[in-house]
Amino acid sequence: MRIALFGTSADPPTAGHQAIIKWLSQRYDRVVVWAADNPFKSHQTPLEHRVAMLRLLIADIDSPSHNISLEQELSSLRTLETLDKAKQRWGEETEFTLVVGSDLLTQLSRWYRVEDLLQQVQLLVVPRPGYVIDQSSLQAAENLGAKIAIAQLNAPDVSSTAYREHGDAETLTPPVIDYIHQQHLYKCQDAPKKSLQIR
């Protein structure tokens, strides 16, 4: 069995995350998703809210094979620990692919016991706008032992950061937007809208 492992900080999860998950579901036997705390990022939203939004995002995906699941218990600050939990759950014989955005390629060398991790998984790099996958980054990852594939996927040019900073609702799916409004999660939602003043 081939399983894609996709942890994301999901602050908030976007239409881009949804496109990636759907694309993975068409190419792997199972897609396992969880909300993560990235030790290299600062998160403004508590994990339980990010999990709830991710659950709504996944429920909104039309997947005929029903092979996508939110497995929050896999979440760990250390990806190697996540992989150990996945192996206990689905067995040592399962072929695991770790899905990362191209923005994380340069962080790999700082990951906990990354060589051990990369010996046990395939690495699928998803291109992200603004983060070029250059030969030196790929070579550095391969030097750590990575077996790399590049996803041939054109995900929407959206990001969680852009939403947090500018409040662009087109970045998100309607169920996630509704949840954010109900919970008053982001400052951009609570800021008074500027109105045109006619003089």
Q: What is the pLDDT of residues 57-103, one digit of tens each?
A: 999 998 877 999 999 999 999 999 999 999 999 998 999 999 999 98
- Dist CA 81 CA 30 (whole Å): 19
Closest CA to 158 of 99, 100, 101: 101
- Dist CA 58 CA 70 (whole Å): 8
SS3 (DSSP) at 199: coil
SS3 (DSSP) at 116: helix
Task: Give the pLDDT confidence of 171-198 residue by residue, as tens digits.
Answer: 999 999 999 999 999 876 555 444 334 4
Task: Give the pLDDT confidence of 35-49 residue by residue, as tens digits.
Answer: 998 777 776 799 999
| Residues contacting 198, CB < 8 A, separation 6+ | none
